[in-house]
Amino acid sequence: MAGRAITAAANDDLMSVIAALEIGGEGDVLVVSAGRSDQAVSGELFGTEAFRRGMAGVVIDGMSRDSAALKRLGMPFYSRGVTPKAPAAIKVPEIQITLRIGDVAVHPGDILVGDDDGIIIGTVADFETIVDAAEAIQTREKALRISIENGHSLFDTPSTSPNTETD
């Protein structure tokens, strides 16, 4: 997953998620700070609408629901867990504001890149700074993996040791 953040502060309500989803488009990532941890702020309908809009993914700091249907969409969908409970949709929406997810600030328009191992967040400038280094690491690790697959020990390779792996 890779895209620009569209942010929503759900505050135990669905209106912010609805409003943020409405402005989301191709390549955007819906990022939601849920509020309470025991209520799902997105599920099959919101996920399907995000998919229809061509969004790159959904990231929820909180719970979601309808996990089987969301997996079938084939769109990256991250949440802290699942529950069938959902809040009402009555509060004034809070969208396109800075969110705090753990100790990370997510600003509208920030870039999110995610895979099965997690998500990283930064500005375009942040990513421009790290792309060359990340590509060099990928190239080195691919060469090492091929060497290991061809029968060479990781421990016999002079350019690395188990303590320098950066996976």
21-31: pLDDT as tens digits: 999 999 999 99
Which residue type, as a one-letter code, is found at position 29? V
CATH says 2-122 is which class?
Answer: alpha beta
Q: How far is CA 77 from CA 105, 120, 163, in A?
A: 19, 14, 33
131-145: pLDDT as tens digits: 888 899 999 999 999
Section 112-138 average pLDDT: 91
Strand boundaries in 13-140, DSSP class E: 28-33, 57-61, 63-64, 77-78, 81-82, 99-101, 104-106, 111-115, 118-122
33-82: pLDDT as tens digits: 998 779 999 999 999 999 999 999 999 999 999 999 999 999 999 999 99
pTM: 0.85
- The most distant pair of C-alpha atoms in the chain lies apart, rounded to whole Å, by 63
39-53: pLDDT as tens digits: 999 999 999 999 999
Phi–psi pair at 109, nearest 5 degrees = 90, -10
Burial class of 140 by CB neighbour count within 10 A (0 to 12, 13 to 18, 19+)? middle
Mean pLDDT for all residues in the chain: 91
